[in-house]
A and B are shown apart, each in its own frame.
Chain A
Amino acid sequence: MPITFEKVDYSYQPNTPFEHQALQDINLTIADNSFTALIGHTGSGKSTLIQQMNALLKPSSGVVRVNNREIRPDTNNKDLKPLRKQVGMVFQFPENQLFEETVKKDIMFGPLNFGMSEAEAEEEAIRLITEVGLDESLLERSPFELSGGQMRRVAIAGVLASKPDILILDEPTSGLDPKGRQQIMDLVAHLHENEHKTIILVTHQMEDVTKYADRVIVMDGGRVAKTGTPKEIFNDVDWLKTHHLDLPKTTQFAATLQAQGFQFPEGLPLDEMALAQAISQQISPKGASDHG
């Protein structure tokens, strides 16, 4: 079942001088098994948007539907557990959520809350620790003895342990080194391709958007400014600029070439392969004299 937003508004601290409308008239559909990237300038409402999807925040007006479960302004706070079990949420700096004595207990915390049996939760913990790329020997260690990158993976394992169908990640790679980033993104790609989870990724890394996402939602000032495939989004260079968004490096390079007279009839390339091909076609012996 897809996720849909219908005319959703959201205000923080309504009816106070601090009132701030963070979402305005959001209408969206996110298909099952899709990989959606959510991008936008800082403060554009990305984190606010994703928190509507597991009812951590409820719309001030409008409806959110997740797997046919409706979330409305007056939705009761009770029995949200089934929803939160289906929608796994990896927050920014998720390592801050660790608290148990051992890594294993922490991974088992979510599943046990959602009513999974002790034995099953333990099985999940053992399976997941290797899936997120850590050694099984860490299971009995305290999470506070681990490195930042290791802690983050434990936290992600803790979310995956509840077996969500939908996985939402809010800038999961921020603050990691390039290798750590790559490992996290590989894990996310694996979950999408092999376990067919619906992925919603909030990110500022445009390279990750082109590489993994099949759909992009651009937020600006609390509104959905645009949706489309990565190709559609990144070919509108001027539009991106007015919305304070970067291009992926490859596309940026291609855009510079285009300004100098190169042509990209199939649109600006998104990855190195496509870029190399497009260039080599134009600097073939005949074209070489044209462009020096």
Chain B
Amino acid sequence: MDKFIFGRYIPGDSWVHRMDPRSKMLLSFFFIFMIFFANNLLSYGLVFVVLFLAIMMARVSVGFLLKGLKPLLWLMVFTVLIQVFFGAGGEVYWSWWTLQITHDGLISAAFILLRFLAIIMMSTILTLTTKPLQIADGVESLLKPLKVIHFPVETLALMLSLALRFVPTLMDEAQKIMDAQRARGVDFGSGGIKQQVKTVVPLLIPLFMNAFNRAEDIATAMDARGYRDGKNRTKYRELIWQRRDTISSLIFVLSGIILFLIRN
């Protein structure tokens, strides 16, 4: 589990850490939206200026963020290669059968790579600086308007926060079970496909058994404390929109406007 940086929270008290989760999520989406409108060097430059500003204000190290890219490395390599070999237009540098490397293909491959980097890094900043439960609270608050059409926002939010809360627990548990089975002679991740599939059983059965038992315990505990679905529950953690959220939003919107002015 050591490599799992994407999607983990690091405690801190930077500007970004202290922002409202709602504004962080909205601005992340806005940023991704912005990226798709960038289409020349200047506009990509602007996108990365905004990104570096966010990195600085979140006080996370760039090296650490780059590590977060690792799990998605192959996806990036694959997409970029497809662009390199199948992208058409402009001067042709090399061609063989249906494959060709062209000027436009290279440019769009580079841009796609930049998009990937920017999107993943911004979402990593979001998850590194926001507690999972804050994300759940934020989602609930943002989805509230959907209550008008009887969408079960609260139930969804509860499911989300329970799920987020137990992801680390389940990962720990999986690690422990794997260790126990390794000690009993299981080789995870080696041998042929058939052997590897076989090693999944001694991991998954105990994991599911524990998860079901735990789910039952939680349900009982919630019942015992009188949890009822769909009542207008008050919040222990209130989300408060602060000045820093307004300032950040202004910066992002401003960058968005500039981007529209400088793109082709």
* Beta-carbon nearest neighbor of B2 in chain A: A13
- Of B148-156, B201-209, B254-262, the one contacting chain A is B201-209
- Give 1 or 0 for each of A81-110: 1 = CB within 8 Å of chain B CB: 100110111010010111100000000011
Contacting pair B5 A16 (CB below 8 A): yes
A84 to B187, CA, bound (A): 11
Measured between beta carbons, the chain B residues less than 8 angstroms from A78 are 190
Contact between chains at B186 and A159 (CB < 8 Å)? no
- Besides the contacts A85-B185, A96-B177, what 5 more A-B pairs have beta carbons closer than 8 Å? A56-B179, A78-B190, A91-B176, A97-B180, A99-B201
Dominant secondary structure of chain B at its interface with chain A? helix
Contact string against B for A residues 1-35, beta-carbon threshold 8 Å, 1 for contact and 0 otherwise? 00000000000110011100000000000000000
Interface residues of B (CB under 8 A from A): 2, 5, 10, 64, 67, 173, 176-177, 179-187, 190, 201-202, 205-206, 209-210
Inter-chain CA distance A78–B182, complex, in Å, is: 12
| B206, A89: Cβ atoms closer than 8 Å | no
Instruction: Tell me the nearest residue of chain B to A89, going by C-beta.
Output: B183
Interface of A is mostly: mixed
Closest residue on chain A to residue B180 by CB atoms: A97
Q: How far is the CB of A91 from chain B (nearest CB, A)?
A: 5
- Is the pair B179, A84 in contact by a Cβ cutoff of 8 Å? no
Does the CB pair A109–B183 fall under 8 Å?
no
Contact of A109 with B179 at beta-carbon distance under 8 Å, contacts A16-B67, A78-B190, A96-B210 already known: no
Q: Is A42 an interface residue (CB 8 A)?
A: no
CB distance from B175 to the nearest CB of A (A): 10
What residues on B are CB-neighbors of A159 within 8 Å? 183-184
In the complex the two chains form, is B179's CB within 8 Å of A110's CB?
A: no
Q: A205: CB under 8 A from chain B?
A: no
User: Please, how many residues of chain A have a CB less than 8 angstroms from a CB on the other chain?
Assistant: 30
* A97 touching B209, Cβ below 8 Å: no
Write out the residue numbers on chain B whose beta carbons fall within 8 Å of the beta carbon of A67. none
Are B180 and A81 touching (Cβ within 8 A)? no
In the complex, what's the smallest C-beta–C-beta distance from A155 to chain B, in angstroms?
A: 8
CA gap between A87 and B184 in the complex, in Å: 10
Q: Are B2 and A56 in contact (CB under 8 A)?
A: no
| Distance from B143 Cβ to chain A, minimum over Cβ atoms (Å) | 32
Once bound together, how far apart are the Cα atoms of A99 and B202, in whole Å?
6
Contact of B10 with A158 in the complex, beta carbons under 8 Å: no
Q: Which residues of B sit under 8 angstroms from A212, Cβ to Cβ?
A: none
Kindly list chain A residues whose C-beta atoms are within 8 Å of the C-beta of B5: 16
Chain A residues near B206 (CB-CB < 8 A): 96-99
Residue A262, interface by CB 8 Å: no
Asked whether B205 lies within 8 Å of A110 as measured between CB atoms, the reply is: no
> Cα distance A71–B147 when bound, in Å?
59
* Bound: A98/B173 CA distance, A: 13
